Structure 1
Amino acid sequence: MNENEQNKKIAIVACSGAANTGQTANEVTVDLCKKSDNYSMVCLVALTLSHKSSLEKLQNTGKIVIIDGCAVKCASEIVKKYGGKKTDLEIQIMEDYGIKKTSRPIFNKDDVKRIARDIDRKINR
């Protein structure tokens, strides 16, 4: 992939926390990446390890989208600390979509589809 193609990519960094909201954020990201080659998932944990290819993916992308599960905003905070680039869109599953956080890491497939459609629309306005 040349640099121009990479700059059109949209990097998505998602929470994958132990609650339903973290798993929803992760699954929404997977759903978006399955639907379009323009979306590229960045490993949140690899950023904390300063993993070269993850940092490069973030630096060389056209847009950065963060999908956090809850108000802790781990993904946002990690990208802020390690990413070195302004984010273009930040989503929070609980606040933006009214999903109540539970301690069980089980997501609702209908919620995932609904949220993925909405985020796709927001990214591509």
Structure 2
Amino acid sequence: MTEECDCKKRNIMILACSGNCNAGQLANRAAVELTEEGFGAMLCLAGIAAGLSAFVQSATDADLLVVIDGCECACGRAILENAGIPLEKHVIVTQLGICRNSALLLKTEDLAVVKDAVRLAFKYPIKAIAIFKSPKTLSPADQARSRSLGGRCC
């Protein structure tokens, strides 16, 4: 069976947590920026939770769904499960090495990590949006891995 690149599927819906911590706000901001960049389109998670038929139908009709949850509570995933909508891709911010805290200040490098994790969840070409200097020297193996994932380093 030949696998098809997810970029051929045009209707990618992004549902994001918007919890009251840095992780929830990173999830939401990543969804906004991915939408602005044309990766997919945000859909209102609260509308699905409220059982509003238009939102539930949009999620059901989507070719691909991704939920970006801020933490392991996984409220976004639970909302889809309660609505009977199958979840295809799931990214949890705190599983990306980002510590949850009550500060609502978002770090640019954390946002880049979340967006890249969403892109990597799909078989989808990753565009180089920004280049960040690593604060530490990468091993040759890590440099090769970074380049194989589309990164530029060293």
Which TM bucket (shorter chain)?
0.7 to 0.9
Partner of 1:45: 46
Give the alignment's Cα RMSD to 1 decimal: 1.5
The DSSP-based 3-state class of the residue aligned with 1:18 is coil
Matched, 1:93 2:93: yes
Query: Aligned residue for 1:114?
Result: 113
- Looking at secondary structure, tell me which structure has more helix per residue: 1
CA distance in 2, matches of 1:115, 1:104: 17
Match of 1:54 in 2: 55
Give the superposition deviation at 1:54. Answer: 1.1
* CA distances 1:78-108 after superposition (whole Å, capped 9, x unpaired): 11111x221111110001x110000122221
CA drift at 1:75: 0.5
Superposition misfits of 4+ residues, deviation over 6 angstroms? none
Equivalence map 1:59-98=2 (5 Å): 59-82=60-83, 84-95=84-95, 97-98=96-97
SS in 1 for 2:121: helix
Distance across 1 between alignment mates of 2:120 and 2:73: 25
- Number of residue-to-residue matches in the alignment: 116
Residue 52 of structure 1 and its aligned partner are, at CA, apart by 2.0
Using the TM superposition, give the Cα deviation of residue 49 of structure 1 relative to its aligned residue in structure 2, in angstroms.
1.1
> Could you list the runs of 5+ residues in structure 1 that have no partner in the other structure?
1-6
Secondary structure at the aligned position of 1:65 is classed as strand
User: Which residue is equivalent to 2:24?
Assistant: 22
TM-score scaled by length of structure 2: 0.70
Secondary structure of residue in 2 paired with 1:17:
coil
> 2:13 corresponds to which residue?
11
Q: Could you say which structure has the greater relative contact order, defined with CA pairs below 8 angstroms and 6 or more residues apart?
A: 1
User: 2:16·2:68 contact (CA, 8 Å) conserved in 1?
Assistant: yes
Larger of the two Rg values belongs to structure: 2
SS in structure 2 of the partner of residue 8 of structure 1: coil
Work out whether residues 26 and 114 of structure 2, in 8 Å CA contact, stay in contact via their aligned partners in 1: no
Higher strand share: 1
Q: Distance in 2 between matches of 1:122 and 1:59?
A: 19
Query: Which region of structure 1 is more displaced relative to structure 2, 99-108 or 27-36?
Result: 99-108
